[in-house]
Structures are given as C-alpha cells and as structure tokens.
A and B are shown apart, each in its own frame.
Chain A
C-alpha cells in the first residue's frame, strides 16, 4: 500500500480534529485520576501503628472509588514510607509535593514527623491531613487536623473525674516529651478549675520500662487518682507495676489519655480492668455504623482480629471530608480544599464530626471508656455533641477568645 504525503496530511488533520474536540478532551480529563499521597512509616519502630493508618486511608479511597470517585475522577494513592524517621518524612513529603505534584497528603503520626514536613506544605502550598491526637499549639493553613486536641480529651474528662468519681488529688505522670508536657499544662488549669489539686507532675524517658520508683512515688503521694499521659511500650510496664505494688484501680484509678486497645491487649486486660481512658472514639461504640467499620476494616486488612482506635477512625473519615471539600469548591487545589473543607460535616463511624471553620481542627465528641476484664472498653460517659477544638487551650484560648482563626494565629495573645 502506498502512503503519499496528501493522504498523510488528510489523516493527520482528521486525527488532530478528533483530539481537539472538546468532548474528547473532557473524557480524557475525566479518566485522569486525582493523585494523593499517603505518607506513613512502613518500616521501623512506628510501623506497627502507622501501617494500619495507611490501610485506613486506602480503605476509604477504595470505598470512594467504588462509589464513583471524586468529581467523576478516580483517586489514586501514592504510598510513601517515612521509615519512622522525621528526616525521611521530610524527604518523602518533598517528593510527593514537588515531583508527584499532589495537592493532598494524608500522613504523619508523631508530632516530630509533622513538624518536619510542615515547612514543605506551607512553602509549596499543599494540604496535609493529620489524624493523630496531638498537643495543640499549632495553627497552620496547610494542615487539616482530624484528631483530638487537649481540650477535647481533657476539657470534659477532668471535671468528670472530679465530680463523678469524686477524686480530689491528681498525680500527673507522662513520657518526657512535648505531648505529655502540654497535656499536663492544660490538665493543671482544669484541675484547679474543678476545685481539685495535683500532688505530683512527673516524667519518665520515652520507652522507659522501669516503673518501680515512680509507682512508689505515686503510692506515697497520697493521690487518689493518676492522670497518665504515658505513651508507647512504657504503658505496659507501668500498668503491671501499678498492680504489682498493690495499688488497685478501684481505689486509685489510672485515668489515661493515650492508653488504647492495643496496649491493653499486650499487657493483659487484668492489669487495666477498672481504669479509664478519654478518647473521642472507642472500638466498643455500639452503633451499626461502627460495627460495619470494624467489619470492613478487618476484611480490608485480612486480619480477623484487627483492632480499631481513635486515630485509625480519624485516618478513615478525613478522606471523606477531603472528598466533600473538593466537591464543594470544585477544585483539586490546596486553596480549593481549604476553602471547601471549612465547616464540612460527616457521619463518621464514631458519630458526627465537623471541620472547624476557624482553625481547621475537628469537632469531636469526648467520651470516657472504662476498661473491662475482657480488654474492651465500656463507654461510661459521652458528651451529647461534638465540641469545638481549641489548639491553644493551654495558653488560655477559649471559644469566645480564639487565638487561631482563618486569618492565622494571633501571636499577640500568646504571652
């Protein structure tokens, strides 16, 4: 077959016309997936927890895709490994934002990793969705915080301990880094406001597992309740030592802010039975939505014993809030997502949540769970509705006097 120049030109003209026609363009555009990053540690010491968070994000994305995607486009997750190291987090965040040009990254678990990636998101104007409860004291226009801040974990908890449990002498104990120390600051204000007092405020190195001296101090302090901000594997040694020194959860309960289903299973439930934890979400929340969430997650991770907890639930529902934000603003840019997400509400597995219009944190429902001998919690108290997140409550921020607004942080108010 001969192929002369005229035929070639003709074919070329027809083809280019077809390509240029608007309908074809829109189709090609529609098939183009929205790329998002999932930046969690897949390796290293924190990978146990962070892999699960990545799974929760992926599960939410697969559900969104199954329901038709966002604005008719599929969502594609680029998974990156932070390797439990803030520096690696920083490198991988740069890669996602600069090279892959994603507008959204779901990720980070520790405050250290979040602080390490923050400059990239702010300089390049991209959005980070961060799901873990943290110490507050941050007001970034480029982060959506879907986990709890201190006022949501402590604001109703401490008055409840003082009033319902009738405890008047608190011993505050924590791991030695920023989160427990900021939590202690908020706690002291609330304890005084509740007409109680604190008899001790002590810290142990992160990962420390020798609790003999500390538990003896608690015993000698005359405290009638322990407020624990201890994190990680130290929790297990702490609860075991507590019982082994003859202290009883019935007379001096440990009221914790971090202890979750995972640590309870590892220490053996008999050591924690009777103690309390404050979280917006518990696996034991008895609603059809939560039961379905647990079942779906177990199916998705192929682990019939998988445990769900607060930051896992938040990692999941934040993806739906992100979707709604894009649908509202019609743009897949950081500015579009930020404008769209203000005031968005969603019915999460643990109940209704809402992104605050001022500080991009999440309205959550404070709950108190009491640990049972079977290792599960029983929700013994729940606030009737979600409460406003106040990231600067340790420094005097209140609902009527906001430090962090849509305009940014009012630094003059920070004394």
Chain B
C-alpha cells in the first residue's frame, strides 16, 4: 500500500512539475499556451546538448535549461503572444503554431540538416540522457524500498513549488502578478506595468517547463514529440485546480496522481486513465471554475 501511495505521489509530482508553469501563465495571463509541452521538450534537449557540448550532468543541466527556456519564452511573449492578449482563440492557434515550429526546428536540427550538417543531440531520433549512478536504483527508508530518481523528482518539485509560492506571496512582483490574476484592468489602473509583469511571468513559466523537461529526460524518452501528451495532462491539473490558484494545482495534481496509482494497482493503467478523465469531467461539471479559483470578475 505504501508502495502504491509513493507511486501516486511520484505521478503527482510529475503532473505538478509540468502544470506549475502552466498554472502561472494560464492563470495570470489567460493565455492557453499550447507550446508549453515544447518548452518541456526544449528543456530535455538542453540536458542532451549540455551533456554533449558542456559535459554537464543532469543536475547541472537544471539551471541551464531554466535560463534557455526562459529566454525562449520571453522571446515568444515579446514577438507573438503580446499582440494577442484578450483574444483567447488566437493565442491558442498562435502558440500551437509555435509548438509545431519548435518541434520541426529540433527535427531539422535548426535547419542545418538541409545543408547536410549534423548536430549531435538534435534530429528526429531518440536521445539519451545518462543519469548519475547515485540517482539510479533504490534506497531504503523505514523498511520501504524507494525509487531514488522518483524521490529526486519529488524533492525538486516541492522545491520549485515552494520557490514559486514565495515569489508570488513574498515579493512585490509576486503581488503584482496576483493582482493581475484577480483583475488585470484594475491592476493596470492601480499602476501595475501589466505588459512587463506578463513578459516576466511568461518567461518564468517557460523556465519551469524547462526544468520539468530536464527531470523527464532522466526517465522518459527524449524525442521531438515528447511534449505533446504532457501539455494535455498539465491542462487537466490546472483546470481541475482552478485557474490561477497555485494551491489548487498542487491539490489537483495530488488527487489525480493518487487516483491514477490506486486504479492502476487495482486494475491497469488504461482503465486508470479513463477514470482520471471521468473524474476531471465530473469536477468540471460540478465546479466549472475548478476546486479553487481567485479570478475576479
């Protein structure tokens, strides 16, 4: 039973890892960022490339990936998303387009493959990110065998959630973000520089996705399409948790992860997935705004 709970906790942490960035961008800016999965993918490729070119291991790749994907996020916000605020469907389509562009850029090795140049670590194939021996296998804690890498993910996720919470609750920029979440127009009227805060929020959300990508690269497959299924799960968590609520995302990730694990243990993963979708539909029907929502009118 403890095993099953631990697996559930691990699934929750992975869900939250991907959803954390989304919770902020979707919550604060109302942008459905379809390219969020591709930010995860870029983070994973940063881990691949920094191993090949900088000889950096997976732990060292975390800050590098954060910086790289935050910069990419900032550029996307400045160039495209900024022009589309308040037009939900247009941002959805535009970010979906960006997602395809990023995928193809990796697949075509940033276009260099047209000239017959091969960049190691890019291209359409599967990539390998080695995991340090210390993070492989298991360790024992109070008589229970614990999967080291999954424990590592849980620790990283808790740390990131804590940092995000501190930023939102204890800094002045965090207060501005919270003001924008509640009511962007009123925040602007009170002197908050909404454009600047939005750009930073988007960059931070993308950076979190990049870290998620590094963590994924250690136990999932790294290839150009890897982000697509993750963004779906991320949206489930955010929608159930309530748009704009960090606490809501944490709780809904925990709920969905544990349900998945328990049903998978009792029946199998396919049914677990169906049950998850059923639960999500039920929650949305009963509470259309999600479990927690602070968005004002």
Interface residue ranges, A against B (CB under 8 Å)? 45, 47-48, 176, 202-205, 207-210, 212-214, 216-217, 233-234, 236-237, 240-241, 243-246, 262-263, 265-268, 270
Asked if B128 contacts A266 (CB within 8 A), the reply is: yes
Q: Which of B169-194 contact A (CB under 8 A)?
A: none
Cβ-defined partner of A213 (8 Å) among B137, B218, B269: B269
Which of the 9-residue segments B3-11, B91-99, B245-253, B279-287 touches chain A? Answer: B3-11
Asked if B130 contacts A268 (CB within 8 A), the reply is: yes
Asked if A203 contacts B4 (CB within 8 A), the reply is: no
Asked if A233 contacts B10 (CB within 8 A), the reply is: no
Asked if B126 contacts A263 (CB within 8 A), the reply is: yes
Contacts A47-B124, A204-B270, A245-B138 given; does A209 touch B11 at CB 8 Å: no
Contacts A216-B4, A233-B223 given; does A244 touch B137 at CB 8 Å: yes
A214 nearest CB neighbor, chain B only: B269
User: A67: shortest Cβ distance to chain B, in Å?
Assistant: 29
B126-137: contact bitstring with A at CB < 8 Å (1 yes, 0 no)? 111011000011
Contacts A213-B261, A237-B220, A263-B126 given; does A244 touch B136 at CB 8 Å: yes
Q: B40 near A: Cβ within 8 Å?
A: no
User: B195: shortest Cβ distance to chain A, in Å?
Assistant: 38
Complex contacts, A236 vs chain B, CB 8 Å: 126, 220-221
Report the Cα distance A263→B128, complex, angstroms: 9
Q: A243-B137, A246-B138 are in contact. List 13 more A-B contacts (CB 8 A).
A: A48-B124, A48-B125, A205-B270, A210-B11, A214-B264, A244-B136, A244-B138, A262-B126, A263-B126, A265-B128, A266-B125, A268-B131, A270-B136
Interface residue SS majority, chain A: helix
Could you pull out 20 A-B pairs where Cβ atoms are within 8 angstroms? A176-B270, A203-B268, A204-B270, A205-B269, A205-B273, A212-B7, A212-B261, A213-B265, A214-B269, A216-B4, A236-B221, A237-B219, A243-B137, A246-B145, A246-B147, A262-B125, A266-B126, A267-B128, A268-B130, A268-B131
Count A-B contacts at CB 8 Å: 94
Q: B272 near A: Cβ within 8 Å?
A: yes
Asked if B269 contacts A244 (CB within 8 A), the reply is: no
Contacts A205-B270, A244-B137, A263-B126 given; does A216 touch B3 at CB 8 Å: yes
Complex contacts, A207 vs chain B, CB 8 Å: 229
Asked if B126 contacts A233 (CB within 8 A), the reply is: yes
Q: B225 near A: Cβ within 8 Å?
A: yes
Report the Cα distance A267→B130, complex, angstroms: 8
Complex contacts, A217 vs chain B, CB 8 Å: 265
Asked if A210 contacts B269 (CB within 8 A), the reply is: yes
Complex contacts, B3 vs chain A, CB 8 Å: 216
Asked if B126 contacts A212 (CB within 8 A), the reply is: no
Q: Which of B69-118 contact A (CB under 8 A)?
A: none
Report the Cα distance A48→B123, complex, angstroms: 9
A212 nearest CB neighbor, chain B only: B7
Report the Cα distance A210→B7, complex, angstroms: 10
Report the Cα distance A262→B127, complex, angstroms: 10
Asked if A216 contacts B219 (CB within 8 A), the reply is: no
Complex contacts, B264 vs chain A, CB 8 Å: 213-214
Asked if A213 contacts B272 (CB within 8 A), the reply is: yes
Contacts A204-B270, A205-B273, A245-B147 given; does A240 touch B219 at CB 8 Å: yes
Q: B150 near A: Cβ within 8 Å?
A: yes
Q: Which of B223-277 contact A (CB under 8 A)?
A: 223, 225-226, 229, 260-261, 264-265, 268-270, 272-273
